[in-house]
Amino acid sequence: MKAALWEIETFDYHTAGEPFRIVPALPFLIEGETAIERRENAKAGDANNIRKLLVNEPRGHADMYGGFVIPPNDSGAHFGALFWHREGFSTVCGHGTMALGTWAVRSGLVRAPEDGETDVVIDIPSGRVTARVRMVSGKVSDVAFHNVPSYVVDRGVEVKTADFGRLRVDLAWSGALYASLPAASAGLEVTPSNLAKVVAAGHQVAAGLANHAAAHHPSDTRLEGVFGTIFHEPMNHAGAGLAQRNVSVFADGQVDRSPSGSGTAARVALLTDSGELAESEVLEHYSMIDSHFSARVVDNVSGPEGGLVVEVSGRSFPMGEGKFTLDADDELGLGFVLR
Annotated catalytic residues are 93
- Which one-letter amino acid corresponds to residue 17? G
Closest residue by Cα to residue 61 from 250, 339, 247, 288: 339
- CA 279, CA 332: separation in Å to the nearest integer? 51
Angle at 66 between CA 99 and CA 179, to 5 degrees: 90
Residues facing 67 on adjacent strands = 22, 83
Q: How many other CB atoms sit within 10 Å of the CB of residue 176?
A: 27
Contacts of 139 (CB under 8 A, 6+ apart): none
For residues 32 and 38, is the Cβ–Cβ distance under 8 A? yes
3-class DSSP state for residue 167? strand
3-class DSSP state for residue 107? helix
Round the CA-based radius of gyration of the chain to a whole number and report it: 19
Peptide bond into 318 cis (omega under 30): no
How far CA 301 is from CA of 214, 230, 310, in Å, comes to: 21, 25, 11
- CA 136, CA 205: separation in Å to the nearest integer? 43
- CA 261, CA 120: separation in Å to the nearest integer? 16
Q: How many other CB atoms sit within 10 Å of the CB of residue 181?
A: 22
